[in-house]
Structure 1
Amino acid sequence: MFIPAGTLDYWQAWAFVVVFGVSSQALGIYFLVHDRALVERRMNIGPTAEQRPAQKFIWALFIFGFVGFVVLPAFDHRFGWSPVAPVVSVIANAVIVLSFLLFFAVMKSNPYAASTIQMEEGQPVVSTGPYAYVRHPMYSGALLLLAAMPLSSVRGGVFSSSCRTPPRLPIWSPASVPASAPMLTARQRPSAEHTAARLGLSLPTGKA
């Protein structure tokens, strides 16, 4: 982030690195201690871990998008495209923490929450915890994270009535969630097919 920003004097980036780093490490350490098998399932991740070509492609898009969500705010900071009030970055970091809390709740409820689309022997259909409210709560947390990341490290400033550049959201930031939603939808389809098969159900095809 600091290379595209062209400076180390970038408190929003430092805050994001600390919040994201501490949250992810705390999550990993907890489950390393309490459920190492789950961590091993989660570590089998990325395009090479997937069996289906479509899932490999979706993972490649995720990686590209994740890098973009980190690099674009840095360039935004450097060139001052869309300064925002500092409180926006603070709120965005709070949402990042919230997304990791949701990841924690999902992983506590579902010890089979692997990073790849798979079904293991003896794996139950989970309907408690976050799964009682949404079928794919991990993806809900991912959407929160992807929505907050671009806003956590954009350019901040002090604004007044005489300021020529009023605060505004980055013009590219609102597209982060709509751009991610179709990929997450395509990603969860095989998982839904697995679940439906276990229950002896069939998914709608969208055809009349």
Structure 2
Amino acid sequence: MNTADTVTSSLKIKTLLSFVELIAIIVLFLFVPAGSFNFWEAWVYSIIYVVSSATITFDLWKTNPELLARRVNAGPGAEKEKTQKITHFFVILLFIAFLVISALDHRFGWSHVPFYIVVLGDVLVVSGYYLLFLVFRENAFASSIVEVTANQKVITTGPYSIVRHPLYVSGLIIMLGTPLALGSWWSLLTFIPLTLVILWRLLDEEKFLSKNLQGYTEYCQKVRYRLIPFLW
């Protein structure tokens, strides 16, 4: 087996393991705390989440395996900066909190979320994934960790011509839609600390990129808004 075949085989294994991990997280932190598989909101959400992730992964496999390799190299341990290790850990922890609180909410009947709100949540999750797809199509350097790779350049087109961090925008849209899609008002409260952690991570990332990525400071002067056009 040559080097290219070894790399491809390794990427296949890592990609498959990431999907196994995703499904395990859903079962362990959503259906187990719910105490039942009779949770239609969770089934719809899980299908949307897995299918959307699989679609993007398949597209990256065909069009940009290098980016896919950077995406599967995820987790706090993969981060190089201490602050990013901390924020990455809290993002994962808060995502799990979304699932567990929603599951417990369903189990004990704390919330009564109208059907159209649940559908709105699913639409937000799909919309967030669609924006994520556009980001990956535009930015071949959109790693899952904060880093600067060889030959990396500043991306100024597509979503990056509107806001500096469309990747975080997509994540926030998905996370905003998650508690609604799962029918939980209480889980929605978790969105507040998640947003604060994302802002912390984002500002630290901008400092890192301004220092280590040529042209990023000029890009920030050109594109003024970080997450929300005309606001911030």
Aligned equivalent of 2:99:
70
How far residue 189 of structure 1 moved from its aligned partner, in angstroms, is 2.7
For residues 181 and 216 of structure 2, what CA distance do their matches in structure 1 show? 44
For residues 149 and 51 of structure 2, what CA distance do their matches in structure 1 show? 31
Greater fraction helix: 2
Q: Point out the more displaced range, 11-20 or 184-193.
A: 184-193
TM-score by length of 1: 0.84
Tell me which of the two structures has the higher relative contact order, counting C-alpha pairs closer than 8 angstroms and 6 or more residues apart.
1
Aligned equivalent of 2:198:
184
Q: CA RMSD in A?
A: 1.8
Query: Match for 1:107: what amino acid?
Result: F
For residues 171 and 69 of structure 1, what CA distance do their matches in structure 2 show? 9
Structure 2: unaligned runs, 5 residues or longer: 1-29, 221-232
Which runs of structure 1 show a deviation greater than 3 angstroms over 4 or more consecutive aligned residues?
200-203
Query: Match for 2:83: what amino acid?
Result: A
1:150 to 176, 179, 184: 179
Does the residue aligned with 2:190 lie in a helix, a strand or coil? helix
Change (3 A) 1:67 1:121: same
Aligned equivalent of 2:34:
5
For residues 92 and 195 of structure 2, what CA distance do their matches in structure 1 show? 15
Structure 1: unaligned runs, 5 residues or longer: 155-168, 204-208
For residues 17 and 75 of structure 1, what CA distance do their matches in structure 2 show? 16
Aligned equivalent of 1:98:
127
Does the residue aligned with 1:111 lie in a helix, a strand or coil? coil
How far residue 172 of structure 1 moved from its aligned partner, in angstroms, is 4.4
Q: Percent identity?
A: 30
For residues 210 and 89 of structure 2, what CA distance do their matches in structure 1 show? 27
For residues 165 and 57 of structure 2, what CA distance do their matches in structure 1 show? 20
Query: Match for 1:199: what amino acid?
Result: G
Matched positions, count: 188
